[in-house]
Copies of this chain bind each other. A is one copy, B any other.
C-alpha cells in the first residue's frame, strides 16, 4: 500500500497545474461539443448554424465540476497506483463522464467506431442524446459506470455497496447537492457505520455544492458553513472544504485536499489492518463548492447563467433565431483552446494523453465497474440436505423461512472466506426467521457495541438498517461489482423501493444488449411476513402488490416464485442464488404451515414451475369437473382444505389441483420465456371446465397474465381484495373470500349436476362462516378445527 505524501498547501508544480487544467479544458470542451455540435467538431472553421444540433439536449450545469473532480482523482490514482472507481451522483453529468472515458482511450477501445481523431470526436458529439446514440446519463453503455443516475438519490449507497469486501478499492462518489435532498441519500450518509476498515474498501464522498437544482437553490448550499460542517461531523465524517471559482487556486486546493484525505484513508486502513478494528473511524469527505456551469457563459441575454440554475441544462438555445448565440457558443468553446489540446488529426496531444492512468487503473476501465468480470460462483451446499421430512402430504408443519435460514447459513458459511455473499434486511432477518445465519456470522456493526448485545460485530455479514432504500442500494452496488446477495423484507414495505427496483431492472434490461457487460448475479428478494400473516399488525402491513409492480418490467429480467412449502422454498432459493441477470422475487411465509412435498417432489415441481398435484386430485385418467388452482402458501392450504371438504361431501366430483410456483408460467410463451404454450396450458387448465384460482396477491394479476388463454372465461380468481384489519389469520382469508368455505362454495356454484346435496353443503359452509365469526369474536383466535386442520387423504 502506497501512502499518499503528507499534505502540502500547493502540491502542484506549475507544469502539473498547467497540464491538469488543460486536461480539464479538454473534458469540458468535449462535454459542450456533445451537447451542441453535429459537425465542425474541432472548430477548424467558423461555427455556423448547420454545425449545430437541431434539438439541443443535455445538461451542462454539473458537468465542469464532475470533470474537475475526475482529473484530480486521476492524479491520485497515478500517484498511489490506486484502485478507484467513480460514481457520478448527478446523472445529468453524462457528457462529462463520457468525455473522460474518451480522453482515457477506453471509449474507443469499447467502441472502435468512436476513434481517437477528428472523425471520432465528430461521432462522439453526434451520438450524444441522438436517436440511435447514447443517453444523457451514465447509462450501462458507458464503460466505468455502475450508476445511471437518472433517478436521484442512490449514488452513495451504490458507492458503499461497491466498497464492501473490496479492501483495495476507493470509491470516489460525487453526491449532487440536489440529490442530497432525497430521502434515500439523506440516510445513506450513515452507511459509514457499516463499513469495516479492515475488510472493506473506502468511500470518498465528494458533496458537490453546485448551488442549484433545475430552478431552485439547494438546501445544503444555503446552510451556513458551521451548520454544514456540523451536519457532516454529526453524520460521522471529517469534512474538508474546497470552495471557490478561480481555477488555479481551486486546482491547488483540490490537489492538497485530496492528498490529505487519501492519506487519512490509508492511515485509517493501515491502523485497523495492523492493529485490528477498535472503533469506527471518522472517515474524511470533501465538500466542493464550485459555480454551477463553471467556465460556461457568465450571462446570456443579460441574465445570470454561470453560478446560477440557468446553467442547469443547455445554457442557451435559439441559435437559429439569434445569430449572436452562435457567436457566444463559438467563443465559449474556443475559450478552452481546442487547438492546444488536440493535434491536427483531432488526437489528444501526447502530454495530455499521458496524464490519465493506464489500462485497468483508468476509472473508465476498472473491472469493478463491469462486475461480471470479477464474479465468482457461490460455493453452494446441497439444498436437499435441509429438506423437511414429508412422508405424507399436508400432515406435518414447518416454518418455511426458518428452514431456508439454515440453508442460507451454510451458503454464508461456505463463502465466508471468499467474502462475496451478504444478506440484507431492514431489521427483519430475525423477525423473518432467518436467524440461523447468526450461527456463522453477525450483523455488520461498526458503531459502539455493548456487552449484552447479541449477534453484532464489525465483521458481521448480515446488513441491517431500518432503511429499505439503503438495503436495496447497498445490494445493488454489491451485485454490480460482481458479488452475491439476498434481501429479505416484509412484503408490504418492499414498495418503499419500487422506484429503485425500476431503475435496477432497467439497468439489467439495457445490459442484455451490451456485449461487453458481463453477467452479474441476480437481485434476490425474499418477501415474507406477508399479507396473509400480518393479521396482528393490521391493514398498514398488508399489501401484496410488489408482484404487480415487478411484472411491468421486461420479461427477460423478471422472475416471480411462490413456493407453497419449505422444500419448494429451498429449491427455489437455490435456483435464484445460482441465477444471473434477473430480479427474482420469492414470496413465502414464516409461520408454521403444512408441508406438502418431499424434496424429490419439490425439486420436480419447482423445475416445472407449475403442475397438477396428483396426490390431491381425484380426476385420474379423465377430465376433471373443476380445476382448483393455487399459488402461494396460504392459498394452497385453503385450496386443499376446500378440496378436502368437496371430496368428503361429493365423492364423485372430479377435482384437479394445480399448484403454481413460477407465476410467469401463466403468461403466453410469446410474452415470457417461462410461459406455457397454449397446448400445455389447456392440458392443465382444460378448455371448458371451471377454474377456481386461489392467489396470494391481487386477483386481477392472474387475469392479466392469462386473458389470452382459451379457458379464460371460466377462470374465477380469489385473492387479496384490499380487505384488511387486525384479526386472526383465518379471518384474513375469510374477509377476502379466499378461505376454504368460500372456495368450496365457488365450486358448488360453478359445477353443474351436483345433485340434491349441493344446497345442503352450501348451507353447511355458510354456517361454518358464521360459527367462525362467533368464535373469533369470543376467543380472539381461530377455531381449533381451523388451527389444527390437516389434509385427510
The interface of chain A, by Cβ under 8 A from chain B, is 38, 53-55, 57, 91, 126, 129-137, 139, 148-153, 178-179, 181-188, 190, 193, 213-219, 222-223, 227-236, 304, 308, 427-431, 443, 445, 447-448, 450, 452-453, 456, 464-470, 492-493, 495-496, 498-499, 502-503, 506, 509-510, 536-541, 543, 545, 548-549, 552-554, 698, 700-701, 703-704, 707, 712, 722, 724-728, 731, 776-777, 779-781
Inter-subunit contact B183/A466 (CB<8 Å): no
Q: Check if B234 sits within 8 Å of A229, measured CB to CB.
A: yes
B536 near A136 with CB under 8 A, answer: yes
B214 adjacent to A537 (CB under 8 Å): no
Instruction: Give A753 Cβ to nearest chain B Cβ, in Å.
Output: 26
A181/B131 contact (C-beta < 8 A), A186-B187, A448-B222, A707-B712 known: no
* Nearest-neighbor residue (CB-CB) of A181 within chain B: B466
Given A470-B183, A731-B131, verify A510-B498 contact (CB < 8 Å).
no
CA of A635 to CA of B390, assembled, Å: 55
B186 touches A777 (CB 8 A): no
A468 CA to B186 CA, complexed, in Å: 13
Q: List 26 A-B contacts (CB under 8 A).
A: A57-B536, A130-B780, A131-B727, A134-B726, A150-B537, A150-B538, A178-B466, A182-B466, A182-B469, A186-B186, A186-B187, A215-B430, A215-B431, A216-B443, A218-B466, A231-B233, A233-B234, A234-B234, A308-B452, A492-B502, A496-B498, A506-B724, A509-B539, A549-B549, A707-B707, A707-B712
Q: How far is the CA of A231 from the CA of B534 in the complex (A)?
A: 35
Specify which of B55, B219, B470 is in contact with A193 (CB 8 Å cutoff): B219
Assess whether B222 is in contact with A136, with CB atoms less than 8 Å apart: no
Residue of B with least CB distance to A188: B183
CA distance A325 to B658 in the complex (A): 46
Cα–Cα distance between A111 and B349 once the two chains are bound (Å): 83
Identical copies in the complex: 2
A378–B481 CA distance with the chains assembled, in angstroms = 53
Q: Is the CB of A728 within 8 A of B131?
A: yes
A687 CB to closest chain B CB (Å) equals: 15
Known contacts A150-B540, A235-B231, A780-B131; A223/B467 CB under 8 A = no
A150 to B495, alpha carbons, bound, how many Å? Answer: 14
Instruction: Report the bound CA distance from A18 to B582 in whole Å.
Output: 62
* A143 nearest CB across to chain B (Å): 18
- A407 to B493 alpha-carbon distance, docked (Å): 37
Q: How far is the CA of A91 from the CA of B541 in the complex (A)?
A: 12
Select A183's contact among B187, B213, B700, beta carbons within 8 Å: B187
CB-based contact A427/B213 at 8 Å? yes
